[in-house]
Amino acid sequence: MMKIDLVTIFQGILDGPFKESMIKRAIDQGFVEINLVDLRDYTHDQHRQVDDYPYGGGHGMVLKPEPLFEAIEDLKSRSGADQSRVILLTPQGRPFNQKRARELAEQEHLILICGRYEGVDERVRSTLVDEEISIGDFVLTGGELAAAAVVDAVVRLLPGFLAEEALADESFTELLLEYPHYTRPSEYRGMEVPSVLLSGNHGEIARWRRRQSLKRTLERRPDLLEEDDLLPEDKEYLEEIKKQQS
């Protein structure tokens, strides 16, 4: 079973995301254990202080090194895991994506540090942290929502949790975006579901979906196509679309 510790000073923010739906099911079924760890439990002063003013002056506060060092060392030693991976959520980190989520789903123990204020003391980053993750080029007030997003993406990929078929066509599985979906009714306000989807011809449906995926990726995220190993017929189809567009 994978173990995930989230180190935070605002546990309340992380209370909800793991108590509903799929992630709750993964916890209940024993695929993952998720612990919210209060950083203030690793302070030794009356005020349980976790932050302090930045050396050199300037705006805001910085998370102090001592509680974070003690927390990470304690969580590692108590985990029982052979290896723990310590992740700092930061807008300065490597952009998170499905490939990284898949790799993290192979880990035994993750410790996610949720930053606050101006961030964490640099000595934490340079000594304790194995990896820095950003969930996008924007700045959140704290790392909790970023950590929740990472945990959600990783847990649903834990081996055996979701059926392989459910993941097979998903966006980014092959670096392509997923094809469009339709459900009943087959006609709504004059808008009809593409007839191929009602045909029962599974070969044709698969071909249509593949082409829709390629078209959608070309329109929305052409950068992904450069990295993907496309089949010769995919390349032909993309050339066809490009010609039609020019």
Q: By the criterion CB under 6 A, which residues form the site for ligand SAM?
A: 89-92, 114-116, 118-119, 134-136, 138-143, 146
For the bound state, the minimum distance from the C-beta of residue 34 to ligand SAM, rounded and expressed in Å, comes to 18
How would you label 66-87 residue by residue, b for 16+ Cβ within 10 Å and e otherwise?
ebbbebbeebbeebebeebbbb
In the complex with ligand SAM, the residue whose CB is nearer, 116 or 210, is 116
Closest separation in Å from C-beta 188 to ligand SAM: 38
Measured distance between the N- and C-terminal CA atoms of the chain, rounded to whole angstroms: 52
In whole angstroms, the minimum distance from the beta carbon of 120 to ligand SAM comes to 6
For ligand SAM, the closer of residues 79 and 90 by Cβ is 90
CB of 54 or CB of 209, closer to ligand SAM: 54
Q: Which amino acid is at 9?
A: I
Residue 205 carries which side chain, given as an amino acid letter?
A: I
Shorter beta-carbon distance to ligand SAM: residue 61 or 167: 61
Q: CB-wise, 26 or 133, nearer to ligand SAM?
A: 133
DSSP-assigned states of every residue in 198-220: GS--HHHHHHHHHHHHHHHHHHH
> b/e string for 1-35 if b means 16 or more Cβ within 10 A?
ebbbbbbbbbeebbeebbeeeebeebbeeebbebe
Q: Which one, 128 or 176, has the nearer CB to ligand SAM?
A: 128
Cα–Cα dist 69/123, whole Å = 9
Rounded CA-CA distance 3/108 in Å is 6
From the CB of 23, what's the least distance to ligand SAM, in Å?
A: 19
CB of 143 to ligand SAM, least distance (A): 3
39 or 238: CB nearest ligand SAM: 39
Q: Which residue is nearest to ligand SAM (CB)?
A: 115
- Smallest gap from residue 6 Cβ to ligand SAM (A): 11
Residues constituting the chain: 246
Whole-angstrom distance, CA of residue 81 vs CA of residue 223: 38
Nearest approach in angstroms of CB 79 to ligand SAM is: 22
Beta strands in 123-237 (DSSP E): 131-134, 187-188, 191-192
